[in-house]
């Protein structure tokens, strides 16, 4: 391994920095359920009202994501990142002055927006250090930050019981200042070139255009070209350039939007409600709290092994998504029908596995399909729609829990959404498998014809 350059030892050092910088992001996400229950017990609110601060926390981290590309026009990413870390920590410390639910909602909304900037720009800077190992680097980064936050719910629960929700947030904000020096060390490497990235991006976008056309006309077969003429190459490059300007309008991007929206909303909903659901079904608080660490353990395992499996070509990322959605459907249906403590802990672990595998692929699939230079803009667009959908969460939570008396119906609704995504990705995997078989068959036929042509003159 080279000491300098893409995929070098210096690149893997950047993985460590990015993993440390992303710790506050995962800590805040994984403690939502504890804060939710803490607000219920402290302020005696309805589920709908208590979910608003945490919903705005998620919504602001997603719906304002399109602002991030505008920020990048005025200052580079390596400057925005430490500023975002500072705003994230200071915003939580301002919880000290949040006397009511509205003020707390504003504080968490600012915190959520800064966390979105931390995640997107740290991932963007990290990917500049890699070319062939981006999947492994991204997964290792998320694995590191996940491992450091496995018992974050337990730590937050201890703080809430001792100091209350507001003062606990102040303490967490002060601790978040620690990551600022690490964010300063994560900068754009000298060897990174926008020109090289644009060249590789055109090739990826051309491939994406073919996938989009195939989606619109499923019966249209893809041709396997052994030799490509220069004229054909110019046509492909022109169409790819046109696609770069209008990728938001393609069916492929729409599919990514739907898939990522379901992924993030199902994950955030489970993290918010799993603890309260365990209490609802009669599990003691000391045992119910462990549904969140169980989820975190599954998240950690899936992020690590899915990244290795994809990087080693054992499985495609499309297959991981299809498998993840399918398993999550089964888990959510079982969760709605079973209230056993052991089953709930097991399901939390498995749901953590499915969400961890899917979430870790979001930046990778966007960068691969739409280019690294468009990662910030494509992520912003996807997260904006995620935030719009997440804004509906309090009404769903209020209806199913406050009116119907249980979260079971809400889990079944999420299971239906996952089932739709599962059906699509399974069809993609099946179609890709058939195309690979046809390609291999055609290549074998061409090889046989070439051998026959070589033998025929000799016989003549």
pLDDT in tens, 422-459: 998 899 889 888 888 888 777 777 777 776 666 665 55
Mean pLDDT of 219-231: 37
- Catalogue all structural domains in the chain, each as residue range(s) with its CATH number: 9-192+246-434 (1.20.1250.20)
What is d(CA 221, CA 97) in angstroms, rounded to the nearest whole number? Answer: 62
- For residue 177, count CB atoms less than 10 angstroms from its CB and return exposed for 0-12, middle for 13-18, buried for 19 or more: middle
| Higher per-residue pLDDT: 365 or 271 | 271
pLDDT tens readout for residues 366-382: 777 677 677 777 777 88
Rounded CA separation 445/227 (Å): 16
- DSSP states of 223-269: P--SS--HHHHHHHHHHHHHHHHSGGGSHHHHHHHHHHHHHHHHHHH
pLDDT in tens, 30-89: 999 999 999 998 888 889 999 999 999 999 988 887 788 788 888 888 999 999 999 999
Q: How far is CA 213 from CA 48, 95, 210, 229, 288, in A?
A: 43, 50, 5, 22, 48
Q: Give the pLDDT confidence score for residue 374 in this predicted structure.
A: 73
Percent of the chain exceeding pLDDT 70 equals 84
pTM: 0.75
Please determine, for residue 226, whether its predicted confidence score (pLDDT) is greater than 70: no
Asked if pLDDT for residue 329 goes beyond 80, the answer is: yes
Query: How much is the pLDDT for 134?
Result: 77
Residue 255 CA to chain centroid, in angstroms? 15
* Token representation of residue 58: 């998620």
The rounded distance, in Å, linking the Cα atoms of 318 and 427 is: 10
Identify the residue whose tokens are 């459907």. 329
List helix spans (H) across 313-340. Answer: 317-337
pLDDT number for residue 221 = 38
267 and 359 in contact (C-beta within 8 Å)?
A: yes
Q: What is the pLDDT of residue 373?
A: 72
Name the percent of the chain lying above pLDDT 90.
Answer: 41
Which pLDDT value is given to residue 436?
Answer: 80
Identify the CA nearest to 104 among candidates 172, 170, 24: 170
Query: Which residues neighbour 102 within 8 Å (Cβ) at sequence distance 6 or greater?
Result: none
Q: Which of 269, 349, 361, 292 is nearest to 320 (CA)?
A: 361
The pLDDT, as a whole number, for residue 19 is: 92
Please give the torsion angle defined by the CA atoms of residues 311, 317, 320 and 325, in that order, rounded to the nearest 10 degrees.
150
For residues 218 and 260, the model is more confident at 260
The pLDDT of residue 304 is: 80
Q: Interior CA angle at 79 toward 365 and 356, to 5°? A: 30
Residue 413 has pLDDT above 80, yes or no: yes
pLDDT band at 236 (very low <50, low <70, confident <90, very high): very low
Lowest mean pLDDT among 1-5, 80-84, 316-320: 1-5
Distance CA 92, CA 95 (A): 5
CB 119 within 8 A of CB 382: no
Alpha carbon 39 to its chain's center: 27
pLDDT in the model for residue 454: 66
- Residue 224 contacts by C-beta under 8 Å, 6 or more apart in sequence? 439, 442, 443
Q: Which of 90, 91, 67 is nearest to 80 (CA)?
A: 67
Average pLDDT score, the chain? 82
Give the pLDDT confidence of 129-185 residue by residue, as tens digits: 888 777 778 878 888 888 888 899 999 999 999 999 999 999 999 999 999 999 999
Alpha-carbon Rg for the chain in angstroms: 24
């Amino acid at each position: 391994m080279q000491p300098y350059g893409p995929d070098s030892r210096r690149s893997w050092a950047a993985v460590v920095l990015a993993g440390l910088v992303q710790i506050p992001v995962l800590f805040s996400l994984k403690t939502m359920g504890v804060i939710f229950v803490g607000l219920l017990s402290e302020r005696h609110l309805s589920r709908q009202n208590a979910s608003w601060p945490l919903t705005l926390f998620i919504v602001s981290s997603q719906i304002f994501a399109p602002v991030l590309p505008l920020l990048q026009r005025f200052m580079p990413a390596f400057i925005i990142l430490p500023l975002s870390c500072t705003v994230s920590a200071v915003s939580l410390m301002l919880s000290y002055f949040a006397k009511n639910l509205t003020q707390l909602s504003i504080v968490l909304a600012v915190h959520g927006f800064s966390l979105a900037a931390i995640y997107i720009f740290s991932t963007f800077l990290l990917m500049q250090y890699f070319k062939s190992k981006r999947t492994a680097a991204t997964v290792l980064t998320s694995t590191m930050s996940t491992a450091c936050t496995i018992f974050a719910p337990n730590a937050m629960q201890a703080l809430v019981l001792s100091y209350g929700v507001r003062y606990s947030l102040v303490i967490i904000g002060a601790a978040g200042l620690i990551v600022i020096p690490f964010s300063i060390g994560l900068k754009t490497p000298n060897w990174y070139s926008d020109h090289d990235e644009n060249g590789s991006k055109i090739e990826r976008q051309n491939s994406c255009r073919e996938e989009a056309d195939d989606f619109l006309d499923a019966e249209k077969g893809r041709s396997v070209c052994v030799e490509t003429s220069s004229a054909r190459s110019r046509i492909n490059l022109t169409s790819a350039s046109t696609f770069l300007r209008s990728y938001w309008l393609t069916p492929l991007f729409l599919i990514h939007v739907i898939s990522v929206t379901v992924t993030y909303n199902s994950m955030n909903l489970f993290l918010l409600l799993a603890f309260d659901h365990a209490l609802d079904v009669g599990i003691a608080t000391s045992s119910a709290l462990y549904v969140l660490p169980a989820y975190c353990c599954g998240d950690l395992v899936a992020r690590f092994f899915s990244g290795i499996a994809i990087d080693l070509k054992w499985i495609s990322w499309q297959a991981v998504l299809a498998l993840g959605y399918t398993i999550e459907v089964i888990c959510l249906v079982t969760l709605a029908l079973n209230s056993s403590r052991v089953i709930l802990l097991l399901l939390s672990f498995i749901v953590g596995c499915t969400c961890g595998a899917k979430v870790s692929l979001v930046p990778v699939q966007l960068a691969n399909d739409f280019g690294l230079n468009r990662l910030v803009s494509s992520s912003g667009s996807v997260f904006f729609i995620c935030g719009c959908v997440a804004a509906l969460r309090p009404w769903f939570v209020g209806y199913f829990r406050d009116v119907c008396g249980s979260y079971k119906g809400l889990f079944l609704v999420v299971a239906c959404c996952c089932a739709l995504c599962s059906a699509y990705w399974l069809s993609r995997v099946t179609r890709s498998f058939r195309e690979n078989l046809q390609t291999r068959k055609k290549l074998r036929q061409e090889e046989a014809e070439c051998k026959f042509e070589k033998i025929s003159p000799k016989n003549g």
